[in-house]
A and B are shown apart, each in its own frame.
Chain A
Amino acid sequence: MTVQASALYDVPGPKALARHRLYGGIALLLIAAMIGWIVYMLFHTHQFTYQKWMPFEYRGVQDLLLRGLGNTLKAFGWTVLFALPFGALFAAGRLSDHRVVRWLSTLVVEFFRAMPLLVMIFFVFVALKVQPLWALVTGLVLYNGSVLAEVFRAGVLAVPKGQREAAYALGMRKTQVMTYVLVPQANRAMLPAIISQLVVALKDTSLGFLITYEEFLHAGKLIATNLDYDLPFIPVVIVIAPIYIGMCLLLSWLARWVERRSRRSPSVRGGAPVVEAGVAMGLPPSAQQ
């Protein structure tokens, strides 16, 4: 059922409309009260004093924040660079005709998906004594690469089997069937899910904060715990949160835009259906089963 309102309830008549307006009014009041309380608390606890916002005027603090943001993006960049080939490699492994390769790849992918990401990061950081950046990137690559492997695999399996059969009938070899026929179609269908998974990777770079990697949140914490500025914790959140969430939102919107664009494209007709974009927790729905 589409969640278009019409399927779940009748077009409201005058009485129902009045009732809905009443509910709407009450809801609005509650939401306004909530926002009002937050604003009241912001003023009540003196969050807008000059002393608390003063650090953001300093060049050094601005540089610190920008460096943190740069480090976040650096970790994200390395993750994307390694996770995509990792995913492709293990997806190919899981689709292999050779039993040993298939089993090994399944083992690797399933293991890294089952382990909490933070446990892997801490293991690399504490037990293997790797630098924070590379500990973070290793963990992110292993986890997101494994999820991407499942996404790629689901994409290849979603291509209608006539495509594969036709390619074999033309005398193509296994690798040719894969690279010329299946993978291009799978990629187009799965692109929204792949970008959505990158949003997850971007969000998870913030775990670097917990292993003292000097990323965005870490820079914020340094400023927030400074007594000279009267512990400007809330101001730091007001500055940092919109930037962080904004970056993730932009990437999410890109995924949605790609999804809508490829839905319209005539080249997907008859091929694998384009999956829905959407940040997932765990395995994306498009890769389940």
Chain B
Amino acid sequence: MKTLTDNWSTYWDGFLGTLALFAVSAVLSLVLGVLIAGFRVSPVRPLRVFGTAWVTLLRNTPLTLLFFIVVLGLPRFDITLPFFTFAVAALGCYTSAFVCESMRSGINTVPAGQGEAARSLGMSFGQTMSVVVLPQAYRSVVAPIGSVMIALAKNTAIAGSFSVTELLGTYRTINELGYSIIWTFVWIAVGYLIITLAISAVFNLLERRVAVSR
């Protein structure tokens, strides 16, 4: 307990850092993911190819390698941004591929008749997607997206090793002060559990509100 109370501000900063990292990259990954999922089902061939390449590449890239490329590689192109921005870019792009795949399998659960009915009413592709298909896909997508978001929150830990303030990275500071290393990690673990359990509670709530039996 002393480890926690003595280092409260260090832990708190780390906790907030992890939360901020999670929140910003979650928004980025959701926006990008939905966009790319749209690309992948669109009638325009180059967009489809781009979407497929994006998803295939990112799903098979180790996140550490992506961090390595973004955080240490982009500065070689004379792009210098804060580490936080780099970390958000890496996490957001990586996660967007998984969000896209969840969206796509969500679109797959909407019966084909829905899209056909929308088309026979004379709706365009954009209308079919945004008014008919996506609102229905959204319901079956909540649970898988929740799973991806929890994984994203856990992945933010990697950013700590690339000079971003976050929860796991706090162990160094606290360790140097000579506190029990085991307890240091116990409190870090509790911090992550709070975040992941909160996300899973939010998504459970969402799921119950939008779920519909089909």
Q: List A residues at the B interface (Cβ < 8 Å).
A: 1-3, 5, 7-10, 12, 16, 20, 23-24, 27-28, 31, 41, 45, 47, 114-119, 122-123, 126-127, 199, 202-207, 209-210, 217, 220-221, 224, 231, 233-234, 237, 240-241, 244-245, 248-249, 252, 278-283, 285, 288
The residue among B45, B60, B152, B171 with the most chain A CB atoms within 10 A of its own CB is B60
Complex Cα gap A122–B170 (Å): 12
Q: Are B175 and A126 within 8 A (Cβ)? A: yes
B188: min CB distance to chain A, Å: 6
Q: Which of A116, A279, A285 contacts B192 (CB 8 A)?
A: A116
Chain B interface extent, by class: 35 or more
B131 within 8 A of A: no
Which candidate, B5-13, B82-90, B104-112, is the interface stretch facing chain A? B104-112
A195: min CB distance to chain B, Å: 13
A274: min CB distance to chain B, Å: 15
Q: A24-B44, A119-B157, A224-B72 are in contact. Are A8 and B64 (CB under 8 A)?
A: no
Interfacial chain A residues near B128, Cβ < 8 Å? 8-9
Interfacial chain A residues near B77, Cβ < 8 Å? 41, 45
Q: Are A31 and B50 within 8 A (Cβ)? A: yes
Q: A126-B171, A210-B161, A240-B65 are in contact. Are A288 and B144 (CB under 8 A)?
A: yes
Q: Are A1 and B108 within 8 A (Cβ)? A: yes
Complex Cα gap A23–B115 (Å): 22
Q: Are B68 and A2 within 8 A (Cβ)? A: no
B165: min CB distance to chain A, Å: 16
Interfacial chain B residues near A220, Cβ < 8 Å? 68
Q: Are B46 and A10 within 8 A (Cβ)? A: no
Q: Are B133 and A8 within 8 A (Cβ)? A: yes
Interfacial chain B residues near A202, Cβ < 8 Å? 62
Q: Are B60 and A278 within 8 A (Cβ)? A: no
Q: Are B62 and A204 within 8 A (Cβ)? A: yes
B210 within 8 A of A: no
Within 8 A of A (CB), among B161-214: 161, 168, 171, 175, 181-182, 184-185, 188-189, 192-193, 196-197
Q: Which of B57, B63, B78, B185 contacts A45 (CB 8 A)?
A: B78
Q: Which of B63, B129, B175, B192 contacts A119 (CB 8 A)?
A: B192
A205: min CB distance to chain B, Å: 8
Interfacial chain B residues near A3, Cβ < 8 Å? 40-41, 104, 107-108
Within 8 A of A (CB), among B94-119: 95, 98, 101-102, 104-105, 107-112, 114-116, 119
Q: Which of B114, B119, B158 contacts A210 (CB 8 A)?
A: B158
B69 within 8 A of A: yes
Q: Are B45 and A237 within 8 A (Cβ)? A: no
Complex Cα gap A97–B23 (Å): 42
What 14 additional pairs, Cβ within 8 angstroms, besides A114-B193, A202-B62, A281-B98? A1-B112, A7-B116, A8-B119, A8-B133, A24-B45, A27-B44, A116-B157, A122-B171, A203-B63, A206-B62, A210-B64, A233-B73, A252-B59, A279-B60
Within 8 A of A (CB), among B116-166: 116, 119, 124-125, 128-129, 133, 143-144, 147-148, 150-155, 157-158, 160-161
B20 within 8 A of A: no
Complex Cα gap A237–B75 (Å): 13
Q: Are A1 and B114 within 8 A (Cβ)? A: yes
